[in-house]
Amino acid sequence: MTAIEYTGLAELARELREGTVTSTAAVQTALERIEATQPTLNAFRCTRPEAALAEAAEADRRLAAGVGARRDGAWGRLPLLGVPLAVKDDTDVAGLPTRFGCAGDIPDASEDGEAVRRLRAAGAVIVGKTNSCELGQWAFTEGPAFGATRNPWNTGHTPGGSSGGSAAAVAGGLVPAALGSDGAGSIRIPAAWTHLVGIKPQRGRVSVHPYDDCFQGLTVNGPLARTVGDAALLLDAVAGPHAGDRFQPTAVDASAAARREPGRLRIALAWRPPFTATPNPLDPGIARAVTDLAEALAGLGHTVDEARPRYGLIGLSFLPRATAGIAEYADRHPDPTLLDPRTRSATRTGRRLGGRLLRAARAREIHQQRRIGALFDTYDVLLAPTTAAPPPRIGTFDTMPAWRTDLAMAAACPYAWPWNVLGWPGVNVPAGFTRDGLPVGAQLLGPAGSEPLLISLAAQLEDTRRWFAHRPPAPAPA
């Protein structure tokens, strides 16, 4: 193992600036690690070795010339100059197809998506695109197009989804951080199941351009990293709107928040998920881990009380928006007959629930924000499990029809998706491990624009819990 492997994002950026490592070496190491682990982890859909190494060489020239450094010696507009990063394959990278987990002849993207443009503007080198399940609709990253992505902590289990490739890449030490997306927990769930920090930002915080209002406002882009500071640094790099974006929240400084004490907070611990019409018993190992985390928060001086958000029947708003979003993506596919039968089933549902029902679901959002947001008249932060179950085994869902897959996902992951309906931010933090050694997580949730508070609280927890010190075992040879 070289010194570059498992180096954090901020630390690697500093080493590049100080000249103790070169971008060429960092990018070459990432590419070698990706290639070596593809047979075991299968985290990446594709890499761009020639282009990435050429960009790394250019970054080395710029680093040697001091490009981006201010006169006071601090680093300026290129905080990620030369750092290798990965993006989920639902985000456009010029010259590569955006397959989003789908088979078929997908044309190359003509230009970078806004988030990738911002990464490049910060100096990052994109080494490749990570795997996703088909159209991001499941909490596992498996499918006929690109196989199964596996969990670095135990390759018999899924890393989660739909940002499972990004999570596996970071947890496995292939890249220091990666971009994912979250439409129903798709950053927070794989972060929980791979022992990472995952930030679901406020809707509009990170542009989804050239798309607009992804999955009817449910989906946002955000970072996965091993530390809060690294996740905050990546969020700052990609945050900001495209001129045509519908949602443009006021800017925040996530990195500053990660260095700031949160103060003494009132924290609501919510065990009960919203109604899903499915049994969703909480795994005892997750209950123990979240209880331990709540006790740690109390030990830091916060007040932690059990409470129950007034979710109501929020699922009646989620279903039309989610399935309509799937239908919109499926309709853009050049050959929809190649899609998974479960995707085609969701597409039919989305068409049936479109129109008046979809408009009604969107119109209910402001009432749901008021009803659920009343919790924050009493509390500052909501703490909840990220999932009800630990990561399932690979292949668990292979033979399930659409309705059984949906029920199984709702049972395993009932906690995350309401915050997508609301459009509000949430942060997954590692909560520990089950007795079988599988990672589990907890989410810190807040109202609109509360990323700084959530990040400050997560950083305070990290100082005491030091979850970044734990690494998965080295993968066995293929």
Cα 237 from Cα 448, distance rounded (Å): 20
CA-wise closest residue to 267 among 302, 241, 300: 302
Cα 339 from Cα 204, distance rounded (Å): 29
Whether 186 is a known active-site residue: answer: yes
Instruction: State the Cα angle at 426 between 169 and 272, rounded to 5°.
Output: 110
Catalytic residue among 166, 186, 317, 345: 186
Catalytic residue among 23, 132, 162, 207: 162
Residue 69, pLDDT score: 59
Residue 5, pLDDT score: 79
Whether 88 is a known active-site residue: answer: yes
Q: What is the number of alpha carbons within 13 Å of residue 165 lying toward its C-beta? A: 32
CA-wise closest residue to 452 among 264, 256, 273: 256
* Helix (H) or strand (E) run with residue 86 in it: strand 84-88
- Residues in a beta bridge with 269: 306, 383
- Could you tell me the two tokens for 74? 């601090």
Catalytic residue among 23, 88, 163, 450: 88
Report the predicted TM-score, pTM, of the whole model to 2 decimal places: 0.96
pLDDT of the chain along its 478 residues, tens only?
345 779 999 999 999 999 999 999 999 999 999 999 999 999 999 999 999 999 999 999 999 998 765 544 445 579 999 999 999 999 999 999 999 999 999 999 999 999 999 999 999 999 999 999 999 999 999 999 999 999 999 999 999 999 999 999 999 999 999 999 999 999 999 999 999 999 999 999 999 999 989 999 999 999 999 999 999 999 999 999 999 999 999 999 999 999 999 999 999 999 999 999 888 899 999 999 999 999 999 999 999 999 999 999 999 999 999 999 999 999 999 999 999 999 999 999 999 999 999 999 999 999 999 999 999 999 999 999 999 999 999 999 999 999 999 999 999 999 999 999 999 999 999 999 999 999 999 999 999 999 999 999 999 999 999 999 999 987 654 4
- Residue 109 gets which letter from DSSP? P
Segment 140-164, tens digit of pLDDT: 999 999 999 999 999 999 999 999 9
Cα 208 from Cα 225, distance rounded (Å): 20
What burial class does residue 296 get, using C-beta atoms within 10 Å of its C-beta: 0-12 exposed, 13-18 middle, 19+ buried? middle
Q: What share of the chain is helix, strand, coil (3-state, %, to 5)?
A: 40, 15, 45
Whether 162 is a known active-site residue: answer: yes
Residue identified by tokens 């047979």 is 39
Residue 76, pLDDT score: 58
Cα 439 from Cα 436, distance rounded (Å): 9
Residue 212, pLDDT score: 85
Residue 282, pLDDT score: 97
Instruction: State the Cα angle at 249 between 244 and 252, rounded to 5°.
Output: 125
DSSP 230-292: HHHHHHHHH-B--TT-S--PPP--HHHHHTS---S-EEEE--PPPP-SS--PPPHHHHHHHHH
- Could you tell me the two tokens for 314? 């929020």
Please tell me whether the peptide bond between 162 and the residue prior to it is cis, using omega within 30 degrees of 0.
Answer: yes
What burial class does residue 44 get, using C-beta atoms within 10 Å of its C-beta: 0-12 exposed, 13-18 middle, 19+ buried? buried
Cα 268 from Cα 284, distance rounded (Å): 20
